[in-house]
Chain A
Amino acid sequence: MLTTPDPANQLKKIEIEDYETLVQQVKPKPPLLKNSFWAFVVGGVICMLAQAIQNYLLSKGAGKTDAASWTSVIMIFLGALLTGIGVYNELGKIAGAGSIVPITGFSNAIVASAMEFKREGYIFGVGARIFSVAGPTLVFGFVIAVLIGAIKVFISS
């Protein structure tokens, strides 16, 4: 028995392929050099600011671990505040990964995703949505850290 391919299905396949090549042609190439430059500069400046805070705390006699913890807390606060007043997202348009990778970007992801969901209420709207990006991040951090700890227990026993 002769089986002919379903013409409608075949047409669909061709259309999808054509469409994808067209998208590849038309899509603007990300300006790699410019993006990289701004990511480097903005990310660098954020880390430099954090280092300045850390140096100040150390000069005031804080212990090394405490100074690092305080610095994280302050940077997280700044990230949340700047996201709230709308500055951080503007910065993100220029800086790209320069605003995502530092811990201020973690804080930005928490606030930005939660702010949109006030209409669902302060408990299951905002309260749940602060974890839409932070949740997966913490899950992977914890799982890997516990695994590494378990491996160490296994090796040293």
Chain B
Amino acid sequence: MISLYMAFLIGGAFCLIGQLIMDLTKPDVTPGHILVGYISVGAILSGLGLYEPLVKIGGAGASIPLSGFGHVLTQGTLKAVEEKGLLGAFSGGVEAAAAGITAAIVFGYLAAVIFNPKE
């Protein structure tokens, strides 16, 4: 039960930061910029070893924000580097994030084909 509260708190905090960035900076910060920013910052924090503790505390609250996707990419890369050296830097990220990337492409495409935009 406590894991649900922590996911709510940490996940909410991630989204709150995103909202503050959107409201307090220039109006040309689009949702696309937020997504790119989150995955980048998540990947970097993960490389510095700062993201894993957040996942330990917040669970899905830290892994479901897009920064968690960056974390998976970096951790997959680092793990593969240990096993295969430089080749792992190229293979590890996609391997770790494969399910998410494929799901996003397949479900995204199907939903866009099946449904029509509302007007």
Query: Taking beta carbons and an 8 Å cutoff, which residues of A are in contact with B?
Result: 30, 32, 35-36, 39-48, 50-55, 68-73, 75-77, 80-81, 83-86, 89, 95-98, 100-107, 109-112, 114-116, 118, 122, 126-127, 129-130, 133-134, 136-138, 140-142, 144-146, 148-153
Query: Taking beta carbons and an 8 Å cutoff, which residues of B are in contact with A?
Result: 3-24, 31-32, 34-36, 38-40, 43-44, 46-47, 58-61, 63-70, 72-74, 76-78, 80-81, 85-86, 88-90, 92-94, 97, 99-101, 103-105, 107-118
A146 and B89 contact, CB distance less than 8 A: yes
Q: A48-B4, A69-B99 in contact; A134/B108 too (CB < 8 A)?
A: yes
Which of A39, A71, A134, A151 lies in contact with B60, CB distance below 8 A? A71
Q: Provide the residues of chain B in CB contact with A43, threshold 8 Å.
A: 11-12, 14-16, 18, 65
Which of B3, B58, B112 lies in contact with A130, CB distance below 8 A? B112
B15 and A44 contact, CB distance less than 8 A: yes
Determine the distance from Cα of A41 to Cα of B119 in the docked complex, in whole angstroms.
28
B109 and A141 contact, CB distance less than 8 A: no
Q: Provide the residues of chain A in CB contact with B65, threshold 8 Å.
A: 43, 47, 101-103
Determine the distance from Cα of A55 to Cα of B67 in the docked complex, in whole angstroms.
21
A122 and B113 contact, CB distance less than 8 A: yes
B92 and A149 contact, CB distance less than 8 A: yes
Determine the distance from Cα of A70 to Cα of B63 in the docked complex, in whole angstroms.
12
Residue of B nearest to A134 (CB): B104
B43 and A148 contact, CB distance less than 8 A: yes
Q: List 15 A-B contacts (CB under 8 A).
A: A40-B13, A48-B7, A54-B60, A55-B4, A68-B72, A83-B115, A97-B15, A106-B69, A110-B104, A134-B105, A142-B94, A144-B73, A145-B73, A149-B86, A153-B85
Which of A96, A136, A149 lies in contact with B36, CB distance below 8 A? A136
